Structure 1
Amino acid sequence: MKKINVYKRKGSESAVTLVTPVTCVGRVRTERVMGKKVGRHTRHRLEVIRIESEHKIQTDIMLALSKKGFTVFRSNAGRVRTESGQTIMLFPRGFPDLCGFRHSDGRFFCLEIKNAKGRLRPDQKLFAQFIKSFPVLYGVARSVDDALEVVNRE
């Protein structure tokens, strides 16, 4: 499949919409999409693929894991400035989005949530190398199925 355009869609739950041509017949005209000129065929069918936002994937994973008997915590990394001007350090940069444990044996897990196009930042790669030296279940999850695969490992 050949990508024509990638842009954010206003008012949509999906963060990114990929527009891919299936068949094209006709002249090309130019349109403005999100402020950029884009060539469009006058008659064609489009296949639209929606990529879910990381926030939605994270919420779906938290709900699914909770229903399956896991305790899950959302973690915030970085720094926050309070109203009084103080800076509070949260988890270190690169710390995974979700952590928790299995009720069956108490095994701890960490999940980094990414959408279909998301990549690990260098600080997240560094954390992944660090945590794999301990008996912790760690993985990158792009869906509920990915998350269940990671937390059900032995």
Structure 2
Amino acid sequence: MREKDIQNEIRLALRDIAVVFRINVGTFMSDTGKMVSTGVPKGFSDLFGVRKLDGKAFFIEVKNEKGRTSKYQDNFLKKMKESGAIVGVARSGSEAIKIIKEEI
């Protein structure tokens, strides 16, 4: 399954327990030929948001069954966890629910 499809599955799975956002990260070429950065840190998670229960922030890196996190993604998740956010790597909607409920 493609990561994009897993992201959509996760967003649907979390709709009742969290407010979820997705941001495109990286750089792209503008119409003028200039490279533009999206402005978020390297390694920023695929999905982020807040838990409806208490407003606690979360960051979820989405991977398919073979995907691995990069050192930048690992570092970003570590920094967010140190700051008090919920973090995790999810390969399915059910894994994402467990992350948000802090069961993983």
- TM-score, normalization: structure 1? 0.61
Give the 5 Å matches for 1:4-153. Answer: 52-66=1-15, 68-90=16-38, 91-153=40-102
* Cα distance in 1 between the residues matched to 2:11 and 2:74: 22
Shift of 1:92: 2.1
Q: Which amino acid aligns with 1:69?
A: I
More strand per residue: 1 or 2?
1
* Cα distance in 2 between the residues matched to 1:124 and 1:150: 16
Aligned length: 102
Please tell me whether the aligned partners of residues 59 and 77 of structure 2 are also in contact (alpha carbons under 8 angstroms): no
SS at match of 1:149: helix
Larger Rg: 1
- TM-score, normalization: structure 2? 0.88
Larger RCO, structures 1/2 (Cα 8 Å, 6+ apart): 2
Q: CA RMSD in A?
A: 1.5
Spell out, residue by residue over 1:85-125, the C-alpha distance to the aligned partner (whole angstroms, 9 max, x if none): 33332122211000011122111100000011111112111
Using the TM superposition, name which of 72-81 and 92-101 deviates more: 72-81
Runs of at least 5 residues in structure 2 that lack an aligned partner in the other structure: none
More helix per residue: 1 or 2?
2
Percent of aligned positions with the same letter in both sequences? 38
Using the TM superposition, name which of 98-107 and 123-132 deviates more: 123-132
Q: Which amino acid aligns with 1:65?
A: L
* Cα distance in 2 between the residues matched to 1:124 and 1:140: 10
* Cα distance in 2 between the residues matched to 1:97 and 1:72: 10
SS at match of 1:131: helix
